[in-house]
Amino acid sequence: MAKVNKHSEKKSPARHGGRLKSLRLARGLTLEQLSRMAGVSKAMLSQIEQDKVNPTVAVMLKIARAMQLNISDLIDSPSRENIFRIIPASDDHYTFRSDPLCTIRTLSPLSLEKSIEFYHLKLEAGGELQSEPHFPGTEEFLHITRGQMSVASGDQTAEIKKGDSIHYRVDISHTLRNTARGPAEAYMIVRYRGE
């Protein structure tokens, strides 16, 4: 059998083309239009879409900004090993805050660098959670499973009850308040969207 010299092997280009093409077509853009918007030649865009070149991060960043995307939206994630983690209800390390009126428990692994966090929130009668603005672009999704809450984000306020869900900005001051006579509970997802 012939030996393969690993040092002489050519590295194949990363596969970003299909993703870029589908996102471009979804926005109704031609190669020429995207070329003008991004300041990247039409020939280069065509080669990227055909996976004939391995573009630099700078080029992909120009394309992402032109399409108002994060660079990670353009890059296919490599296949990863299976993830299978249990967060035991008895593990107090996951309790983010606990006082007589408010308990917040994270339901996502503490070790991850993540763009999404998942929480269980309990507010007793009269309890509230006031928060300073998070990073730019951060959003929350809240689903009430018990009682009712008042949600304020900036100058907007809404009353939501059991079964309701709400999506709101948290890169501005925001407050969750239990407006019922009994306890209120909710599940909350925080999504960080870096610029």
Domain count, the chain: 2
Q: Which pLDDT value is given to residue 11?
A: 42
Tell me the residue range of the domain where 181 lies. 92-191
Residues 135, 186: one domain? yes
Global confidence as pTM: 0.57
Among candidate residues 74, 109, 125, the one where a domain is terminated: 74
Q: Is residue 85 part of a domain?
A: no
Assess whether 63 and 136 both reside in one domain.
no
159 shares its domain with 100 = yes
Q: Is residue 79 part of a domain?
A: no
Two structure tokens written together for 132: 């300073």
Same-domain check for residues 47 and 108: no
Domain identity same for 181 and 121: yes
Q: Which residues pair with 105 in a beta bridge?
A: 95, 120
Does the residue 1 lie in any domain? no
pLDDT at site 7: 42
Same domain, 105 and 182: yes
* 70 and 125 both lie in a single domain: no
Closest to 42 (Cα-Cα) out of 57, 26, 24, 58: 24
114 and 183 share one domain = yes
Q: Is residue 86 part of a domain?
A: no
Residue 118: name the closest of 106, 104, 135, 109 by CA. 106
Residues 39 and 126 in one domain: no
Residue 157 lies in a domain: yes
34 and 66 both lie in a single domain: yes
DSSP conformation class of 92:
G
Same domain, 41 and 110: no
CATH code for the domain in which residue 29 is found: 1.10.260.40
In sequence order, the 6+-apart residues with CB closer than 8 A to the CB of 41 are: 35
Q: What is the CATH number of the domain that holds 167?
A: 2.60.120.10
Same domain, 182 and 127: yes
Helix (H) or strand (E) holding 9: none
Q: What is the pLDDT of residue 1?
A: 43
Q: Whole-angstrom distance between the N-terminal and C-terminal Cα of the chain?
A: 51
What pLDDT, on the 0 to 100 scale, is given for residue 195? 44
Q: What are the pLDDT tens digits along the chain (195 aa)?
A: 444 444 433 444 456 777 888 888 877 889 999 999 999 999 989 888 888 888 888 888 888 888 888 777 777 555 556 778 888 888 888 888 889 999 999 888 776 656 788 999 999 999 999 998 988 889 999 999 999 999 999 999 999 999 999 999 999 999 999 999 999 999 999 988 754
